[in-house]
Structure formats: structure tokens, C-alpha cells
Structure 1
């Protein structure tokens, strides 16, 4: 069906938007802190998305998109970089409100260093594969900057939110890759899949969400300092 990818986007964002007006979390009040970071992060990832499409890292099944494209990207793919981060920041905000426990900074450092080590190793071993190189190169840079330069106090809570976000991740990406709406060129990735989802997708998503949450926290803190 031509509206398949569009429908997946709508379902991804439907409940987070509706539940944003819950009086306890009051996520709607935080929307103004989300948009700037989503715009900046979206531009970065859409730049890579255009290149990935040009160089055949992936393509889109015309049977499941409405056909409206910008710079070679379906409208639905552009919306993906809005709907998914919005939904995941909603998860992050809900966990911050309802779950008071968090892992200490030492655990966040361990997880971060493991991610850096994994990213650098896989990047070196798969330096000819564009999707793998960009995914793990970008993730390594982001984690290094956060861990050793910015040193945020929210990193452990982000990792917890990311683990929870894997539930909708497997639903959404599972649909996109099993229908399939998005077609991956295994010559440009490691060829390892979790079900139908390329291994790299987990870390591409991690980098996407890390940037969005980072900007969300930055703009939220700027507001607090200005008050």
C-alpha cells in the first residue's frame, strides 16, 4: 500500500503526542526545547541519508511510499527523523519523571568507553563499508565529546531510555525492513542482521537519539539559566 511508510510514521508519533498533555509528565511544555535540536540533528542525518541513497547504501520500495520526494528522499523518510526522535525523547522524559533510580556516573563511563571501543574496532574492520564507517565513526565522535569534553550528568539516564526505546525500535524498524519499505545494500554494511534489521541500525539510532537528547538538555538548561 502506498501509504505504508506514512502510516508507520503516524503510528510512531500518535501516542507520544496524545500523552504529551498528561498533567503529570506535562511533556507538551517541553516541546519548545525539542524543535531546535531536532532541526539541527535532522539536517546532519538527512545529509547522510541523501548520500546513502545516492551511493546505494539503501533504497526505498516505491510500492510503500506516496512518491513525493525531496533531494531523492521520500517525504516519509524525512518525517522519520522527526517522528522517531520525538517519540524517544518522550520516553526519556517519562522515565525521568517516573523512574528516580539511575546508574551512577561510573557505569555511564564504562558503557561509554565500551561503545567507543566497539565503534573504533568495527570501523577499522569494516573501513570499506560506508554505512558501517559513518555509523560507528559518528557514534564514536559523539560519545567521546560527551564523555570527555561536555561531561553531562544525564548520560546514564539516556542509556536507560535508549534500552527502553529498543522496544518501539524493533517494532518500527522491524516493519520497515521486513515488509520491506527500506531496502539495504549488504555490500555497504556488515551483513549481520537481528531478524531483518541490520546490526548498524541499532547504533545509527543510538547516535540519532544521543544528538537529539543532548540538544534537548542543552536548550532546556539554557532556559533555566535565563530565568
Structure 2
């Protein structure tokens, strides 16, 4: 049963959102194509990052909790993570966007971007010897610069609020992956490669990493949605 732990985490993370996607008030199932394309595009560099860090020993996986099937040195569950978790995140954003008027959050785009870039820059400079911290900070800075100044995304404030709400699910999911409630963590981290600040058992970098992944998937999801509506027009 232990071998199914990671796969069961993914299953229970996505199943309720998947079933709710077919609700007539939501109909997120009509956007499965746009989501899948977006998730795969973002998964490619993030999986490459994952493979690189695994090879360098920045983190590694306890195979007692996985099925034993690997892809490029990663448990197959770790690869599916980049589809299943973003699905629940984008679905949540979609519901918030559909049922709540959150456009007022656009007014906070500038402050969110500037404060985040300043914090990440300071942390990167102070902790450049910790590779997970450094790479996460750089990726987050690059992500926000592109989305805010180049793509002119006006939904960063809205996405940031939704991600804050998603933390309610992030803690139990990532908590179990990093050892909460288990005899040993599924994902282990080299203590020399990150700040050592944990939320329960979760490295703080994981939350920032997850944010960058989420907003990139959301960006491409919106892009493919727009193209779909253009083609139908």
C-alpha cells in the first residue's frame, strides 16, 4: 500500500475538481484542451529543472512511496504532478473568475510585482550559494517581469489571491510529500541547497516555486482560450 502513496495524493488532489468540471454551472470540461496544452508547455521546462536538481542531489525521492516506474530518473508520479496539481489550481481560478467579481484586484498588480521582485532579488543576493533558493528566486523574477512588463497580464493580483486560497490545499498535499504524517518524506531536500525555512515540513521555496508554475500555466491557458474563441468567431 505504501507504494501507492504518491499516486493517491495526486488522485485525491484532482478528483473533486475533475468531477466538478462537468457541473452545468461551471463547464470547465469545455476548456480541457486549452488546459492540457498549457500544462504540457509549462511542464517541459519544470520537469527539466526537476531532472537537473535530482541529478545534482538537490532533492531526491523515497521510492518506498512510489510505484517504481521512472521517467528520466523521476518517479512517474512526479511527472504527473505537473499536470494534476496545475489542473486543480487553474480550475479553482476559473471558478473564482466565474463566480466572483475580482477585477478590483487588478489595482494591486504593480505593488505585488514590485514587492515580489525586490524580495526575491534580495534573497537571491544574500543566498546565492543555495541553488534551490537562487534558481527559484531568479525564475520568479523572470516570470513576473515577463507577465507584467511584456505580456501586460492584468490578472496577477487576481491570480495571487487565488493562489493564497490554494495554500489551504497546498499545505496538506505538499506537507505529506515532504513528510507530514509519514515515517519518512517522499521528497527529501539537501539542507545545504535551500534556506531551511519550513512551513511545517514544507520548504518555503516550494510555495514560491508553485506560484511561478501556476501563473505560467494560467498565462498559456488564457492564451489558448483566447485563440479558441477567435477560431470560433
TM-score by length of structure 1 reads 0.97
The offset of 1:98, in angstroms, is: 1.3
Q: CA RMSD in A?
A: 1.0
In structure 1, the partner of 2:121 is 120
In structure 1, the partner of 2:229 is 224
C-alpha separation in 2, matches of 1:153 and 1:177: 34
Structure 2 contact 178–188 (Cα < 8 Å) conserved: yes
The offset of 1:63, in angstroms, is: 1.2
Match of 1:206 among 202, 206, 211: 211
Map residues 23-172 of structure 1 onto 2, 5 A cutoff.
Answer: 23-172=24-173
Is 1:9 matched with 2:10?
yes
Structure 2: unaligned runs, 5 residues or longer:
none
C-alpha separation in 1, matches of 2:66 and 2:105: 44
Three-state SS of the structure 1 residue aligned to 2:8 is: helix
Structure 2 contact 105–158 (Cα < 8 Å) conserved: no
Three-state SS of the structure 1 residue aligned to 2:192 is: helix
Q: Deviation digits for residues 105-139 of structure 1, max 9, x if unmatched?
A: 33121011111111111111111111111111001
Q: Deviation digits for residues 74-117 of structure 1, max 9, x if unmatched?
A: 00100111110001001000101111133343312101111111
The offset of 1:224, in angstroms, is: 2.3
C-alpha separation in 2, matches of 1:103 and 1:127: 36
- How many residue pairs get aligned? The number is 227
C-alpha separation in 1, matches of 2:78 and 2:105: 36
Query: Relative to structure 2, which stretch is displaced further, 124-133 or 217-226?
Result: 217-226
Q: Deviation digits for residues 190-222 of structure 1, max 9, x if unmatched?
A: 111111000101100001101100100111112
Structure 1: unaligned runs, 5 residues or longer:
none
